Chains A and B, each alone.
Chain A
Amino acid sequence: MDALETFRAETRAWLEANCPASMRTPMPEDERVWGGRNPVFKHPDSQRWLAAMVERGWTVPTWPREYGGGGLSATEALVLKEEMQRLRCRQPLFGFGISMLGPVLLTRGTPAQKAEFLPPIARGEIRWCQGYSEPGAGSDLASLQTRAEDRGEHWLVNGQKVWTSYAHLADWIFCLVRTSTESKHGGISFLLFDMASPGVEARPIKLISGASAFCETFFTNVEVPKANLVGNINGGWDIAKELLQHERGMISEIGRTVGGTTPPVDVIAKRYLGLADGSIGDPVLRDAVARHVMDDHAFALTLRRAAEESSAGAANGGLSSMFKYYGTEQNKRKFELILKCAGTAALGWEGEDFTEEELTVCRTWLRSKGNSIEGGTSEIQLNVIAKRVLGLPD
């Protein structure tokens, strides 16, 4: 048995021994654990499961052990993910600290910043939000106007962000601010600050799905310590872009998140369309389901190939933009296909005429439309692929 297979066997044994049975069931959206100063453990076992994974460093498997990580290689982390999927283990912790800020601090933070911010992220003790988009800065993110002035002792931040996910629940924010107007891209800095600071206000926005996960966030004379600047002053754009790579990687995984509650498309198709000779009853939709499932399969193999290339030291940087684009478009296609298969059963807004699962499908379908907008639209992703990977000119 090679080292990786030994690791796989040990990992499986550990998960079987330490993941409570209740944490191997499909996870309703509201049972997700986001951590933070005021953590919510809607399912009582989720706290025990998080503690076990924190102990192991597996909330952030590839981070160094000194910062609360598991010290795993990319292929070992993939094996861990595969084994968690096999046992249907729930993801123990969600948040933008583990998926976005942490990886950037690992490459860009000072030793003091890493020591201060990374371990609480790994343990799920501080919940972060992302201050990027503004009313006038969406796809053209670098035109952002929120400004930070150097007031000697501190930075003074004034301005407005929008689409700030879970800002009303977050403890800290990583925020892009304008520190110079001399240059568009070269006048942006990357700041970290406490959402409890005086002058911060977050207002949730109601979305087409009925949920309010996004906020308008206002900053009025917010004082931020000088030590909370990451990287160089006016050097924030490169950090912003690096972080976007991680965000896009995370969003591309949305359709595949461990423990999702929506059943596979083929299961839904069989249930609502009936069977003919053991196959999905409608031959046209059967072909559409097959095409979808096969694209999912090929996409999963491509994620795996990218991880193998990365472990072999031949990482293909262009792939991350492809994953964001393809993963989100595929997730949207999945829900459109589920709607076709389930018919009006998937179109209920609320009420006892629909099952909980049917109502969730409808809301999740609406939510999926945002996947290809947030974190860089599909159109921006295609631009990025054309420019960086294919070398097509501006």
Chain B
Amino acid sequence: MTLILNDEQQMLQQAARDFFAEKQPVKALRDLRDRADATGFDRNAWQAMAELGWAGILIPESEGGVDFGYQGAGQIMEQAGRTLAASPLLATVLLGAALVRALGNEGQRAALLPAVASGEKILALALDEGPHHAPLHTALSAEANGDGYCLNGRKTMVLDGHVADTLLVVARTSGKPGDANGLSVFIVPPQSAGLHCRRLNLVDSRNAATLEFTSLRVPAEALLGPLDGAWPALSAVLDGGCAGLAAEMLGTAQEAFDRTLNYLRMRQQFGVVIGSFQALKHRAALMFCELELTRSAVRAALDALDTQNPEAPLLASLAQAKACETLELVSSEAVQLHGGIGMTDAEEIGLFLKRARVAQQTLGDARYHRARYAGLRQF
């Protein structure tokens, strides 16, 4: 296991930091929100990211990607988190492309992966069905029907669901909600008859949608991976999603912390800067400790995914749980320590708080991942 970055990863980190600071500052998200942008992210910026190889960072070179691995992808996610950049990185790259790579046959991979790597295609994973992440409780049904399948049910929190060019829908083909067996994934075009999509307007101004499936028919070739047996691969892909999302949350927490420190060094009351008060210093030092622990957990999870370490699921849950806890702490303290100005829409720190809570509920919150960790450690 390696917890420090090699030269190439450090260069990528710096390039990503520069890119997001220049092309996707926090103001870019605010602008998307204020003009109620129909897409919800900047397509030009996404094209630029694809040209840098980031859309194909987890795709093999033979299929148009750069195959740079999770530690590299994590560096991009962390820097995106610093500026709250809205992009298809999580839904298309870490979840969608990774699932197609894991489960797709040659034809499916050829149809999707090069188009993702070039930035042409946006993917979305339709998984959760209620207000909490609960993949095994998938109830949306897919029944064999003639030479295909018929889908009925509802999905929510589908990231980039309203702009995706291809939907990857997790459905139950046998068993009952709660069973690991009986889950299958279907490739569904968003124009399909029987699909109704409603964009969600979430507090973080990022993209998510609710999808209603009413007797939606797909051909047999739409099945991605084994019938009834998608769970092992899906679970591994969710681990990758968690590690990447945890990296994004780490970046968001670190930036909120850095901004708060700057405020503590600058804001004067009682004739001195408020950062000289011990009560505030101690709160800052506590946050520093939590950020350092989170950074170690995130690095370890990303490294485990790159090295096929059998502890990858454990470390992914560790990273996600720590990132959720730390981001909740830091985003709340950031608003409090900014005082009244932190409550204004004009000050950017409130946008960090809003993104924090949505990220914390994406792919499982801290409680979910603590329970999963305990289960994996058999207590």
Contact = CB atoms under 8 A, between A and B. Distances in A.
B326 to A, nearest CB: 10
Nearest to B374: A290
Contacts of B357: none
B16 interface: no
A302 B377 CA distance: 20
Given A298-B322, A312-B4, A394 B276 contact: yes
A357 interface: no
B379 A298 contact: no
Contact of A386 (B281, B292, B295, B297): B281
A392 B275 contact: yes
A382 B282 contact: yes
Contacts of A279: 374-375, 379
Contacts of A278: 378
Interface residues of B, number: 39
B355 interface: no
Interface in A266-290: 266, 269-270, 278-280, 286-287, 289-290
Interface string B335-379: 000000000000000000000000000000001001101110111
Nearest to A314: B4
A42 interface: no
A323 to B, nearest CB: 9
A298 B375 CA distance: 18
B289 A390 contact: no
B293 A298 contact: yes
Contacts of A241: none
B223 interface: no
Interface core residue of A266, A290, A382, A387 (most chain B CB under 10 Å): A290
Nearest to B375: A279
B284 A326 contact: no
Contact of B379 (A270, A305, A381, A390): A270
B173 to A, nearest CB: 27
Interface string A139-183: 000000000000000000000000000000000000000000000
A301 interface: yes
B285 A286 contact: no
B378 A301 contact: no
A305 B370 contact: no
Contact of B293 (A269, A270, A295, A385): A295
Interface string B302-315: 00000000000000
A325 interface: yes
A207 interface: no
B371 A294 contact: no
Interface core residue of B1, B288, B371, B378 (most chain A CB under 10 Å): B288
Nearest to A283: B371
A383 interface: yes
B288 A385 contact: yes
16 contacts: A266-B379, A287-B371, A290-B373, A294-B318, A294-B370, A298-B294, A298-B297, A301-B3, A301-B293, A308-B4, A319-B292, A381-B285, A385-B288, A386-B284, A387-B281, A393-B276
Contacts of B14: none
B2 A322 contact: no
Contacts of B289: 322, 325-326, 385
Contacts of A326: 289, 293
A304 B300 CA distance: 10
A256 interface: no
B261 A266 contact: no
A385 B257 CA distance: 14
Given A266-B377, A279-B379, A383-B278, 14 more contacts: A287-B370, A290-B373, A290-B379, A291-B370, A294-B370, A301-B300, A302-B293, A304-B296, A305-B296, A308-B2, A314-B4, A383-B285, A386-B282, A390-B288
Nearest to B257: A390
Interface core residue of B265, B294, B322, B374 (most chain A CB under 10 Å): B374
A299 interface: yes
Interface of A is mostly: helix
B286 interface: yes
Contacts of A13: none
Contacts of B299: 301, 305
A391 interface: yes
Nearest to A270: B379
B6 to A, nearest CB: 10
A269 B373 CA distance: 16
A137 interface: no
Contacts of B375: 279
A319 B293 CA distance: 11
B215 to A, nearest CB: 38
Contacts of A289: 374, 379
Interface string B243-262: 00000000000000000010
Given A279-B379, A305-B299, A299 B293 contact: yes
B281 to A, nearest CB: 4
Contacts of A227: none
A248 to B, nearest CB: 14
A393 B1 CA distance: 38
A293 B375 CA distance: 12
Given A266-B377, A266-B379, A308-B3, A390 B293 contact: no
Nearest to A293: B377
A10 interface: no
Contacts of B367: 287
B86 interface: no
A302 B278 CA distance: 26
Contacts of A301: 3, 293, 296-297, 299-300
A382 B371 contact: no
A309 B288 CA distance: 18
